[in-house]
Structure 1
Amino acid sequence: MGKLQSKISNRPSKYRAEKENAPAKAVLQYSPAHSDAVTSVASLPPDLCLSGGNDKTVAVYNWRCGTLVRRFVGHEREVTKVTGLLSSNWLFSASRDKKVLMWELHGTSGPAQCFLGHDLVVTGLAVSPAFRQLCTGSRDNTVRLWDIETGDCLQKAAISRNLVTHLCWIPGEPYIIQTSEDKTVRIWDTRELQVVHSFPAKQHIQMSCDVSPDGHYCISCSSGFGGDGCEATLWDLRQTRSSVREFRSHFQTTASCIFLPKGLTTFPAVATASHDGTIKMWSQETGACLTTTCLEGAGPLPSLSACETGGLLCASSNSGIHLLRVSATKGLELQKVAKF
């Protein structure tokens, strides 16, 4: 793959010359959503970005208008994860202060609910519209299931050395995918909060995961350095004995991986973001890298989220949140649109 890409990239073409000489569109510079590194982003339809950062705040930003909609203050340490319950007013944030807080987008400035119980930093956060339940995971080796409305912990499960890194819910199902520092990807049944399957362990820490909109596939991504590890792995949730394929060419830890919704491309595709400062798009069916975008000076890129309107939101450690647009007018590429 690398040799083939090298040959293609070195081949002269009139199209490439025209593309390189074309004037670049100016990237819109909006007021920053956070005063420090951004750790997590989530898209809120149709044009809002939910984010958390090292400044201990949670922000809701209108990326189309370039305006801050809400800022929530309540955490005592850095925010690690954020997510929203679609078709509702509820937003959620996890933090190093061991708390998970629920906010109301159109409510008061203070938290509407507080979920307490973890002994260490909360690093996993997933919410189910179908079951109206919240699942959290932590470096304390536990996964917890919560009643959203009452804040009660419904169930708790602990596995030795299961330092949770990420959680995601399978759409419409009572199952959760979880990645861990023990290099394992697990499937949990939330009805009894038991592990029903563990994929073969990888060689590196599994940093994040996502589930395809049809619920058939899962993707996870690995830590690494110098190209060792750093891959994303596609798993078939219907045939769980081995991985389907891997996506390789990042040179440092791949921190975030997502499936792209239909409409962004004409074929199934995934996107990854890495500590090497690049975002890559891949063909889900072949594993080929379709395009690479480098966010110069952005530092590690810890989180990605796709917008239904055809864009990608990317959190960065050094330069805020980046909005990129998927363009197919001159070959598939990611165009930088705005930064905030």
Structure 2
Amino acid sequence: MLLLSRPDEIIEERIQTKAFQEYSPAHMDTVSVVAALNSDLCVSGGKDKVACIPKSSQFFSASRDRMVMMWDLHGSSQPRQQLCGHAMVVTGLAVSPDSSQLCTGSRDNTLLLWDVVTGQSVERASVSRNVVTHLCWVPREPYILQTSEDKTLRLWDSRGLQVAHMFPAKQHIQTYCEVSVDGHKCISCSNGFGGEGCEATLWDLRQTRNRICEYKGHFQTVASCVFLPRALALMPLIATSSHDCKVKIWNQDTGACLFTLSLDGSGPLTSLAVGDAISLLCASFNRGIHLLRMDHSQGLELQEVAAF
């Protein structure tokens, strides 16, 4: 796991000439996850999962040793807390909007709810065959969204850690999920091959909880999906990254693909994170972390400006 600072001065200069700066790789192996602490700092993991505490210097990591660690940038080099409770690898982490609770999920079919202050587990829930792939917390709500290898998307109520809703099962494993800033919508994405599966799906999180739109065009597993900030765009946008080495930008409302960026030689793309209003961070198998910038000067474009 690495904490990385973005070399802004160099990048801003390179953007003007549409050049590209490649730095020494931060990781020596596959980067499986990247998360933004703020507009200048990101956390990346090789085989780890990472979740950041909003507006804080603290974050959590989880790995194949079944442990969850809490870290503080302003503290020592040792973790502040070590949380142990899962029987298999931890594959999902989500921090509550008020930063008081952490939800973890594992390949052991179990979700655990933790008190962040005490480091104690306060709730446990288990569903047969529910191999967790990702977790995220709904803003301003007591709900947690979860994707699974059983092809379903579940909404959990943290008050007692009970399943509040199960969305209709998809045809393929659901690999990742994200909730919009207003908490009204969510997206999940699917594994697949040769264009079968390989899509992202937009869902209504309000009363109807119906499927709203699908985004099809990748040819391999879609590993990550994010809602993009509305700062410069005239329409709501979604971004996806895939094992086919491509990042795609979609019109959220129509499902139209507006731009495709091919990161040739990167290998499968594993994770996306919003850096700021115009920046994305993308993790890859072969080339570490890519810094991408959106440009609206001549229509929507996505440019790779650095890799590290």
- Measure the CA separation in 2 of the matches of 1:262 and 1:245: 19
Q: What one-letter code is carried by the residue in structure 1 that aligns with 2:23?
A: Y
Listed as ranges, the matches of 1:297-336 within 5 Å are 297-336=265-304
Give the aligned partner of residue 103 of structure 2: 135
Secondary structure in 1 matching 2:125? strand
Listed as ranges, the matches of 1:148-167 within 5 Å are 148-167=116-135
CA-to-aligned-CA distance 1:222-275 (integer Å, 9 cap, x gap): 000000000000000114453111000000000101111221523211100000
Query: How far has the Cα of 1:41 moved from its partner?
Result: 0.6
Confirm whether residue 32 of structure 1 aligns to residue 59 of structure 2: no
Give the aligned partner of residue 44 of structure 2: 51
Q: What one-letter code is carried by the residue in structure 1 that aligns with 2:19?
A: A
Q: What one-letter code is carried by the residue in structure 1 that aligns with 2:144?
A: I
Equivalenced residues, count: 293
Query: How far has the Cα of 1:150 moved from its partner?
Result: 1.3
TM-score (norm 1): 0.84
Confirm whether residue 182 of structure 1 aligns to residue 150 of structure 2: yes
Secondary structure in 1 matching 2:76? coil
TM-score (norm 2): 0.93
Among 37, 48, 62, the alignment partner of 1:94 is: 62
Is the deviation greater in 179-188 or in 105-114? 105-114
Q: What one-letter code is carried by the residue in structure 1 that aligns with 2:21?
A: L
Q: Which runs of 5+ in 1 are unaligned?
A: 1-22, 54-77
Q: Percent identity?
A: 62
Cα contact 2:54–2:99 (8 A) shared by 1: no
Q: What one-letter code is carried by the residue in structure 1 that aligns with 2:223?
A: A
Listed as ranges, the matches of 1:266-277 within 5 Å are 266-277=234-245
Q: What one-letter code is carried by the residue in structure 2 that aligns with 1:219?
A: I
Among 227, 242, 251, the alignment partner of 1:259 is: 227
Cα contact 1:135–1:146 (8 A) shared by 2: yes
Cα contact 1:199–1:240 (8 A) shared by 2: no
Query: How far has the Cα of 1:131 moved from its partner?
Result: 4.8
Q: Which runs of 5+ in 2 are unaligned?
A: 1-15
- Measure the CA separation in 2 of the matches of 1:106 and 1:304: 26
- Measure the CA separation in 2 of the matches of 1:241 and 1:104: 37
- Measure the CA separation in 2 of the matches of 1:211 and 1:155: 23
- Measure the CA separation in 2 of the matches of 1:327 and 1:25: 11
- Measure the CA separation in 1 of the matches of 2:255 and 2:137: 24
Is the deviation greater in 271-280 or in 261-270? 261-270
Secondary structure in 2 matching 1:292? strand
Q: What one-letter code is carried by the residue in structure 2 that aligns with 1:39?
A: S
Give the aligned partner of residue 337 of structure 1: 305
Cα contact 2:223–2:243 (8 A) shared by 1: yes
- Measure the CA separation in 2 of the matches of 1:43 and 1:293: 21
- Measure the CA separation in 2 of the matches of 1:321 and 1:264: 24
Give the aligned partner of residue 179 of structure 2: 211
Query: How far has the Cα of 1:24 moved from its partner?
Result: 7.1
Give the aligned partner of residue 8 of structure 1: none
Listed as ranges, the matches of 1:15-26 within 5 Å are 25-26=18-19
Query: How far has the Cα of 1:335 moved from its partner?
Result: 0.7
Cα contact 1:264–1:326 (8 A) shared by 2: no
